[in-house]
Amino acid sequence: MVWSWIPGNAAVIRQYTLDNALLGIVPALLGLVISVPLGIACVRWRWLYPPVLSTASVLYALPSLALFIVLIPYTGLSDTTVIIPLTLFSLCVLVPNVVDGLRSVPEPVRQAATAMGFGTLRRLVRVELPIAVPLVIAGLRVAVVSSISLASVGQLIGVYSLGYFFIDGYQRDFPTEIFVGLVLIIALALVCDLLLVIARRLLTPWRETRRRREIPRVMVAGAPRAAGA
């Protein structure tokens, strides 16, 4: 371990970390943009779900490197060549989570919304999607973390990411570089995951959390009223 290598290359390290973060986050977000309407369609038309799910699984099974190579003639050696396959991979977790999220809306809730005069679209936007948020974010967490780690493969076709340190470190037989790349990828994944957890907490304060301490207190406060009133 050559510690002095780190401050000496701080600018490059910072740059590739940012590149890698982008290659992780952008595909997950694009995947979200695609999977929400796709998931809604799969819930609306049940027959659509099995073929969509199989297609997503097949895409996920394709080796990333093979997809990069297939795309090079069209998109060149650009970020896009990495982003497209990673986006397709993310669908494999995001679509099922969107579908499960929408299906997690309890039937009485759906019925109550309809009976109060919510049209289909309004019910979707105001009731069903908000209730699906926890599961969608759970899918997003997996998508972001796997995209961050897969992005490094893009280095093989010259799209810069933390993967650069693996290749360069190997070629120069310089383990420090490999180690730094590895630690940063893990750190990046953890940070993104944590941000998503925080986002979920903020977006879904209505969700029963594991902070059990709060719940009994509330129940006790409410109980006499419910029984006595």
Partner 1 sequence: MITFEGVTKRYPDGTIAVDDLDLEIAAGQTMVLVGPSGCGKTTSLRMINRLTDPTSGRVLLDGRDIQESNPDVLRRGIGYVIQQAGLFPHRTIEDNIATVPLLIGWGKGKSRGRARELMDLVGLEPGLARRYPYQLSGGQQQRVGVARALAADPPVLLMDEPFSAVDPIVRASLQDELIRLQADLHKTVVLVTHDVEEAIKVGDKVAIFRPGGRLAQLDSPERLLGAPSDAYVENFLGFDRGIRRLSFLAASGLALDDTPVAAQDAPASGALRAAAQSGEAWVLIMDAERKPRGWAAADELESLPAGARAGDARLIPYGHTFGVSTDSLRAALDATVLSPTGHAVGVDDAGRVVGVTSYERLRTAIQAAGQAPRPGRAREAAAR
Q: Are 85 and 64 in contact (CB under 8 A)?
A: yes
Q: Site residues for partner 1, window 12-31 (CB under 8 A)?
A: none
Give every CB contact of residue 147 below 8 A, 6+ residues apart in sequence: 23, 24, 25, 27, 28, 86, 89, 90
Q: Which is nearer to partner 1, 10 or 116 (CB)?
A: 116
Rounded distance between C-alpha atoms, residue 212 and residue 223, angstroms: 17
If one asks whether residue 170 binds partner 1 (CB under 8 A), the answer comes out as no
Q: Site residues for partner 1, window 186-215 (CB under 8 A)?
A: 204-208, 215
Helices 175-203 & 129-150 angle (0-180, nearest 10): 180
Exactly one of 53, 130, 156, 174 binds partner 1 (CB under 8 A); which one?
130
If one asks whether residue 125 binds partner 1 (CB under 8 A), the answer comes out as no
If one asks whether residue 10 binds partner 1 (CB under 8 A), the answer comes out as no
Q: Is the dihedral of CA 19, 21, 22, 24 positive or negative?
A: positive
Exactly one of 11, 119, 173, 212 binds partner 1 (CB under 8 A); which one?
119
| Residues at the site binding partner 1, with contacts judged by CB under 8 A | 106, 108-109, 111-119, 127, 130-131, 133, 204-208, 215, 218-219, 221-223, 225-229
